[in-house]
Structure 1
Amino acid sequence: MPLENVTIGRVCLHEVHRRPEEGPQLVPTFGTGLLELDQEAESAFRSRVIAAFKSTAQCMEVDIREFGLGSALVTGVELIKLRDTQFVNHSRLFAEALATAQISRQIPGGLMVVFDGTLGNPATPFFGLMKAELHEGFIKTANLQARFVNDLFLSPKTKLYKIGIFISDGVDPRPDLPEGWRAVVYDSAMSAAHRDAAATYFYSNFLGLNIPENAARQVKKFFEETKAFIKAQDIPEKDKVDLYNGLYAYLKLDRGNTIQTSRFAKTYMGDDLGDDYIAHMKKRKFPAGAIAKDISELAGVLRWRKFKFPRAITLSGPPDAIRDLVAVDSVNGDDGQSWTRITIRAQLQSQE
């Protein structure tokens, strides 16, 4: 989901260390003041956050599971109301919570970046929690020399960070949390075939968030609304077949574990049709962000691809076989009617 009209307020850094081989988790190294950013640095930080939550990024709207005392939500709601000096001290609670959530030695240390600001129009408050891993690189010095450093973070090409953002609806006070708040997370690992432990420790153990339980229904709605859009288009039948094949491939064959309207449009549609499709899905109130790809409610539907013709004639087969072997074209018949020509790039094996 894209973030619009973003302003960054206060930023504070703490460092969380990798869990040692033996003994308890190390106490974080706490920052002592707000991060001082000049205009260029603030613009760069803001751009990193916005870029992560563009509709093509690995972001997802999630459910707020924990909203009691000590939860990330309650700690953050209290945080954004505090003065600057209190902000720094209160933000330490997030570093401590992240250190506790990192239960495995395989999880690297990194910086706990706590920040707040406003977004949207009209502007409403938000607070953000970022885990930024440190990485190596070279810094250019005078006379075209270079210095090696191992404490770089937030480099645009090395997206070693995860972000959770809690967004208010602007109505205050809200006595019944989590009412009035929603959450989105960014993690590049969400595009992998399987979620790794790192993603789980961050959005679940640390932030207290859940992947929506209705993901299966959302995926079914994605399938049905996309089919309806394709069917309604005034384009050649061959192009419709290609789009249907793309839809089946995207849901069944693509190894990613999320779906997203913008990603489908970019992969299978041209710019104009893709813009129309995204507008169609937005009108149908389908989320712009990534959705967990739970195809359990479509298991039977995705097993076979079918073409139906008059007088009970049906051509069917697995979606990948249809995509690879079958070509469908609309042609003008001898009787002046539109006919369908089917080409199967394989020999007939049997008939009954």
Structure 2
Amino acid sequence: MICKTTKEFQNKVLNKMTFTPYPNENYTIYKNENRPELGYFIKYSRDKYYEFGIGDYTIPESFSLVFEHNEEILRFGTVYSGETKFKIENNPVSSFSPSSFFVSEKNIKGNQHWKKGQHFHGAEITIYKKYFEEIIHSNFPESIVFDKFINNYTYNYLPLEVASIIQKLRSLAESNKLTSLYLESKILESIALLYNEISSSPENVFTNQLNYGDIKIGNNKSITLTASDINAIQKAHDILTKEICNPPTIKSLSKMVFLNEQKLKAGFSAKYHMSIRQYTNSLRMTTAENLLCTTELSIDEISKMVGYNYSGNFVKMFKNIHGKTPLAFRKMKL
């Protein structure tokens, strides 16, 4: 079964934990009274606006869950102990391990795994888009927005002040001293601190410390891509697409997007599954195919239009890709 909402996913996890809900005035505690050694999960919430959860539990049996939902939410918190692996579609396998984390979720799809005997202890705030639309943006329209972050990417970072807020809330909750008013005030403070962080500079700690993964460039060598690197690679892709008939050299392109040639070439290949040269050739040949089928231009004219100074080079490249000359291709399409 696929979990279609965040709430459904959470309920499935708690069910697999064999936990039963016990409502209190300000929160609900989930536990198995017959097996207290499994621990507990505490949840404070303002329905459809935000949640604050504290977990300290041990997995009774191994299980996995598949999720796919269209909700837009921000989640951030701290994992004090334990690690769980998860796979988000179109992203590498990731994991939560002892550290702070932040993620902006939108149209997320993937799966997550838990192993018997694993122990987890952590605290997390979840804020739904409805809270931003009705409470934050209606009063502070210039504040934090979802598109400031890469969707469905887990940042292993929180500003120290926000991490301290999480710690304070957890401590109060575990001693049954956390009130709903105080919780909401700290959620608002966290949003303000996050907004200050991302509005301070385009190159803030989220972009500077973002690790987009390591790419191998040799038997014993690899490079790490950051969010700013990925943005540069995307810009390079856009430039190549626009300048299809006169693409810049790799050296020129690297200067245009402010990224060194090695990262540009390796990152482009990793992101688009083809080299820069292969991509430009693909664009040229696609344009040539269209001109051959829809115009009566000569082969020489078409070769110049797609950026070849010598028609012989164009014919050779076209034949390598299609297995036939441009003229034979045109005759076949008539």
- What TM-score, normalized to structure 1? 0.24
Larger Rg: 2
Structure showing the higher helix proportion among its residues:
2
